[in-house]
């Protein structure tokens, strides 16, 4: 694998045999993702986005093809996944949730506390560090998931519509927080979203998948400057041109998925 490539998929397909005559969820996907890249995936509902991410996470095997993820440091987890549904442990405080992965890796207590404090501060929950999830709003819980994922310091971060269930204001705040944390870490991130806007605000490239069986329709580079200020990039002609370009491609697939 080239030095700057972190993830490589070669002719990856996934067939679910449980469906009558087999259901092809992902078909012949070949792509590479660079180290430190923020890679977004959009596509119609049911086109295989989550399946592809689950294959990257090692939660699902591919039926054919090859997946390789370059690991540079065996003391760190290879990946961490953030889901749409809040996935914090309800019996743990915010701090314990954020420290969880570090504790599993037996990182010393003082170091754990330092890392947790940093990310709890980044997500603006310092005052809630000792609160339990039942004392938090949905958006706050999702922030904890994001902080936990970054604190875990995996080689790659996999996010499956992490802000999909949030209201617009919370979504905007979390996008900004994610951008800030990501820009400070440059962690290779694969991010599924239904929102073209979100993909453009966050991503370096956007993969548009076809209606099922999910294939690569096209991959669009997002050449908007970084660091990004979400509110101001939305008003630029470049953003509007990219939005139109993606929507025109995606629209056809959304129609195809419905028929
Ligand atoms: N474990 C499974 N067993 C059988 N079929 C599955 C399984 N997981 C997913 N599928 C099927 O694979 C296809 C792709 O599903 P997937 O969840 O990857 O789509 P998606 O693009 O993430 O959808 P959405 O945007 O609605 O979340 C769907 O037709 C789904 O029914």
Give the domain extent around 148.
89-154
Q: State whether 48 and 132 are in the same domain.
A: no
Is residue 102 located within the same domain as residue 214? no
The protein residue whose alpha carbon is closest to atom 24 in ligand 1 is 45
Say if 17 falls within a structural domain.
no
Q: Is residue 80 one of the residues assigned to a domain?
A: no
CA distance 139 to 166: 6
186 is a domain residue: yes
Is there a domain that residue 215 lies in? Answer: yes
Per the structure, the count of domains in the chain is 2
pLDDT in tens, the chain (259 residues): 677 999 999 999 999 988 777 899 999 999 999 999 999 999 999 999 999 999 999 999 999 999 999 998 888 889 999 988 768 999 999 999 999 999 999 999 999 999 999 999 988 899 999 999 999 998 899 899 999 999 999 999 999 999 988 888 888 988 998 999 999 888 999 999 999 999 999 999 999 999 999 999 999 999 999 999 998 999 999 999 999 999 999 999 999 888 7
Same domain, 129 and 160: no
189 in Cβ contact with 182 (< 8 Å): yes
Domain boundary among 154, 174, 192: 154
User: Cα–Cα distance between 143 and 95 in angstroms, integer?
Assistant: 12
Residue 55 contacts residue 15 (beta carbons within 8 Å) = no
Output the domain CATH number for residue 223.
3.40.50.300
Ligand 1 pocket check for 6: Cβ under 6 Å: no
- Residue 93 Cβ contacting ligand 1 at under 6 Å: no
Nearest residue (CA) to ligand 1, atom 11: 25
**Statement to judge: residues 145 and 232 lie in one domain:** no
């Amino acid at each position: 694998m080239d030095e700057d490539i972190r993830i490589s998929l070669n002719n990856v397909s996934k067939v679910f045999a449980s469906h009558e005559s087999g259901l092809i969820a992902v078909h012949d996907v070949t792509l590479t993702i660079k180290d430190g890249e923020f890679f977004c995936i959009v596509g119609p509902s049911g086109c295989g986005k989550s399946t592809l991410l689950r294959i990257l996470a090692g939660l699902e095997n591919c039926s054919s093809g090859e997946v390789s993820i370059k690991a540079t440091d065996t003391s760190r987890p290879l990946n961490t996944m953030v889901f749409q549904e809040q996935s914090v442990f309800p019996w743990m405080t915010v701090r314990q949730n954020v420290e969880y992965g570090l504790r599993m890796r037996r990182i010393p207590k003082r170091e754990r506390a330092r890392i947790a404090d940093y990310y709890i501060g980044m997500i603006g929950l310092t005052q809630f560090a000792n609160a339990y999830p039942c004392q938090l709003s949905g958006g706050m819980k999702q922030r904890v998931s994001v902080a936990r994922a970054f604190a875990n310091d995996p080689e790659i971060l996999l996010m499956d519509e992490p802000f999909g269930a949030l209201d617009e204001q919370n979504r905007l705040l979390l996008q900004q927080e994610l951008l800030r944390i990501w820009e400070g870490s440059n962690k290779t991130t694969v991010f599924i979203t239904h929102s073209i806007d979100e993909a453009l605000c966050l991503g370096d490239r956007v993969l548009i998948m076809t209606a099922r069986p999910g294939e690569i329709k096209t991959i669009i580079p997002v050449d908007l400057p970084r660091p990004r200020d979400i509110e101001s990039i939305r008003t630029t002609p470049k953003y509007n041109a990219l939005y139109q370009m993606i929507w025109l491609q995606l629209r056809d697939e959304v129609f195809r998925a419905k028929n």
